[in-house]
A and B are shown apart, each in its own frame.
Chain A
Amino acid sequence: MLRNCAMRLRTLGTTPARRPGAARRLFSSEKVIRKDYALPNPSWTKDLRLLFDQFMKKCEDGSWKRMPSHRQNPTRAIQEFQTLFVDSKFKKEEQMSKAQQFTRSFEEGLGFEYAMFYNNVEKRTVSLFQGGLHLQGVPGFVHGGAIATIIDVTTGTCAISEGIAMTANLNITYKKPIPLLSVVVVNSQLQKIEGRKLFVSCTIQSIDEKTLYTEATALFIKLDPEKPLT
């Protein structure tokens, strides 16, 4: 590991120093990089914890599975993706070391607090989501784009179970604004598969299912190594 860090430092040294923080980042411990964020933390409200426990119980018989969530993709996965689907001119090693998953780029409790559960038989993904104060749109409510992101992430998990896929279309109808720090259930379902096309539907409801906040449909396309993205 130290040898890899040293190699990367040397590469960084040859490029203009635009981000002084980069070197410090490389020395973050493995533990921080591989932390699983889809687990309760002090910022979770009671509602979110209760719901999480309910779903963990459902996992006991194997029908549901909790999806772990890390800040950074493992290096091997990055390299595989880049080799199979991306033109070499877009490969930037320097950026790969700094990059992190969008939904995990926030301080605890301030951004997306969520845990995802997947049911392989029903092809359903459920996200338990609590929007923090840094996801604000209209004062007091979650930004429409943050809602779009959590829908993209949840429907994406449904689609990725069939193979690596990218979002092609996202159609969202906002019914009611979601208050910040409230807990909602994002329920997505794989509807049908047509060749490389995956159709997924999604709803966002309150815990008691009495309030429908958002409805969405998404289309994902399974990636083909024969047809690169770029």
Chain B
Amino acid sequence: MLRTSFQGVARLVRHKALYRSPCLLPRVHLASAFGSSTESLVARFCPEKTDLKDYALPNASWCSDMLSLYQKFLEKTKSGGWIKLPSFKSNRDHIQGLKLPFGLETASDKQDWRLFTRSIQLEGQGYEYVIFFHPSEKKSVCLFQPGPYLEGAPGFAHGGSLAALMDETYSKTAYLAGEGLFTLSLNIKFKNLIPVGSLAVLDIQVEKIEDQKLYMSCIAQSRDKQTVYAKSSGKEICSLSLGCLPLPHPQQRGGKMRAKSQILSWSLGLLGVGMLLARDMDEEKGNKVRITQPATQDSLK
């Protein structure tokens, strides 16, 4: 019964008429209704089979440092809890069926969007990078090799290109660690320039998750850690907190069961409200709105 109820709510949320009513139903993704665990987020993010091209794979432009470190981390994915993240040309490909919170939906769905860090398509000319994520320790490592199209000062990568890659790694880490969606702040201290074509290793750590915000830190350095290129901190906001109704806190250690039962009771309450509203609109608009699962209503009575 619960499963059909939630399916019904999800369908209602997707229906246009309800979207237009301001802030009545926040985004209710089926998995999120139970508070997405990192495991389920990773499973959705890393499809087992896909036709999409994965750009985070070695190619002829990768320097030997990058190749050898990549192999080392690949070994760790077999035994030690690390996961290699795929990298597609658009975030829409990563997060299939992502519904942005009300008010942030954009009208069109253009096919020629490209993720900024995958926009320069010529091999070796722009961003060459791969991210490895450790779900239990909530940390990431990004291997980054800037190409000549990312130049700022002659022979060195533009500060903005490193900022962009830091933001990108923060985004992916925050999404998988706690459904982080938008960056709230980014503070970068540049220490040394990265020569074009050389390897920079970015180590990202989630420091804490508080008030629906993820706080992370990053250090970008050379492989031998002798040269620090930059240090930064970033803050991302969780997508669940972007709705208008008070939301349960994201899962924290020791509070899993409490969070789940809170979400459950909150969702059932919303379901009731949603059903009532849908019925009212149905009367107003002369049956233009159709609830596709009449059985759901009956099961609530």
User: What CA separation (Å) do A27 and B148 show in the bound complex?
Assistant: 17
User: A105 CA to B148 CA in the complex, in Å?
Assistant: 10
- Given known pairs A168-B190, A177-B104, the reply for A134 and B116 (CB within 8 Å) is yes
Q: Are A144 and B167 in contact (CB under 8 A)?
A: yes
Q: How far is the CB of B103 from chain A (nearest CB, A)?
A: 11
Residues of chain A within 8 A of B57, CB atoms compared: none
Chain A CB within 10 A, most for which of B116, B151, B190: B116
A143 in the interface (beta carbon within 8 A): yes
Please determine whether A133 and B114 come into contact, CB atoms closer than 8 angstroms: yes
Q: How far is the CB of B5 from chain A (nearest CB, A)?
A: 29
The docked-state distance in angstroms from the alpha carbon of A133 to that of B118 is 12
Residues of A within 8 A of B153 (CB): 81, 166, 229
Is B124 at the interface (CB under 8 A from chain A)?
yes
Q: Contacts A133-B114, A169-B190 known; A101 to B151 CB distance under 8 Å?
A: yes
The interface residues of chain A lying within 8 Å CB-to-CB of B193 are 166, 229-230
Shortest distance from the beta carbon of B98 to any chain A beta carbon, whole Å = 7
Q: Is the CB of A145 within 8 A of B116?
A: yes
The yes or no answer to B115 lying at the interface (CB within 8 A) is yes
Q: Is A77 an interface residue (CB 8 A)?
A: yes
Q: When chains A and B are docked, how far (Å) is the Cα of A142 from the Cα of B106?
A: 12
Q: Is the Cβ of A18 less than 8 Å from the Cβ of B98?
A: no
* Known interface pairs A102-B158, A146-B164, A172-B187; A133-B113 also in contact (CB < 8 Å): yes
Q: Is the CB of B116 within 8 A of A172?
A: no
Docked complex: A41-98 residues within 8 A CB-CB of B: 73, 77-78, 81-82, 86, 90-92, 95-96, 98
Partner of B100, one of A102, A138, A170, A171: A138
Partner of B155, one of A99, A135, A136, A167: A99
Are B154 and A81 interface neighbours, CB within 8 A?
yes
* A residues less than 8 Å from B200 (CB atoms): none
Best-surrounded residue of A86, A90, A143, A166 (most CB of chain B within 10 A) = A143
Report whether over half of chain A's contact residues are helix, strand or loop; otherwise say mixed.
mixed
Known: A18-B60, A145-B165. A173 touches B115 (CB 8 A): no
A102 to B159, CA, bound (A): 10
Q: Give a binary string over B157-201; 1 marks a CB under 8 Å from any A CB, 0 the rest.
A: 011110111111001000000000111111111101101110000
Give the CA-CA distance A100 to B193 in the complex, in Å.
16
Interface string of A189-230 (1 = CB under 8 A from B): 000000000000000000000000000000000000000011
What is the distance, in angstroms, from A52's C-beta to the closest C-beta of chain B? 22
**How far is A229 from B152 in the complex, measured between Cα atoms in Å?**
14
A168→B189 contact, CB < 8 A: yes
Provide the residues of chain A in CB contact with B190, threshold 8 Å: 166-170
Q: Is the CB of B116 within 8 A of A136?
A: yes
Which B residues touch A170, using CB under 8 A?
159, 163, 186-188, 190
Question: A1-35: contact bitstring with B at CB < 8 Å (1 yes, 0 no)?
Answer: 00000000000000000110100000000000000
| Contact partners of A19 in chain B: CB under 8 A | 61, 124
Task: Please indicate the chain B residues that have their CB under 8 angstroms from the CB of A101 in the complex.
Answer: 151-152, 158
A149 on interface, CB distance cutoff 8 Å: yes
Q: How far is the CA of A78 from the CA of B110 in the complex (A)?
A: 39
Mask: chain B, 73-94; 1 = CB below 8 Å from A; 0 = not? 0000000000000000011100
Q: Which residues of B contact A163 (CB under 8 A)?
A: none
Known: A139-B98, A166-B159, A173-B185. 4 other contacts (CB 8 A): A18-B60, A105-B125, A111-B119, A171-B187
Q: Could you list 28 examples of A-B contacts with CB < 8 Å?
A: A19-B61, A77-B154, A78-B155, A90-B155, A95-B148, A100-B148, A101-B151, A106-B120, A110-B114, A136-B90, A136-B113, A136-B116, A139-B92, A140-B113, A141-B104, A143-B116, A143-B167, A144-B171, A145-B161, A148-B167, A166-B193, A167-B159, A167-B190, A170-B159, A171-B188, A174-B184, A180-B113, A229-B193
User: Which B residues are within 8 Å of any A CB, using their own CB?
Assistant: 60-61, 90-92, 98, 100, 104-106, 110, 112-117, 119-120, 122, 124-126, 148-156, 158-161, 163-168, 171, 181-190, 192-193, 195-197
A-B CB proximity, top 5 nearest:
A145-B164, A149-B160, A140-B106, A143-B116, A134-B119
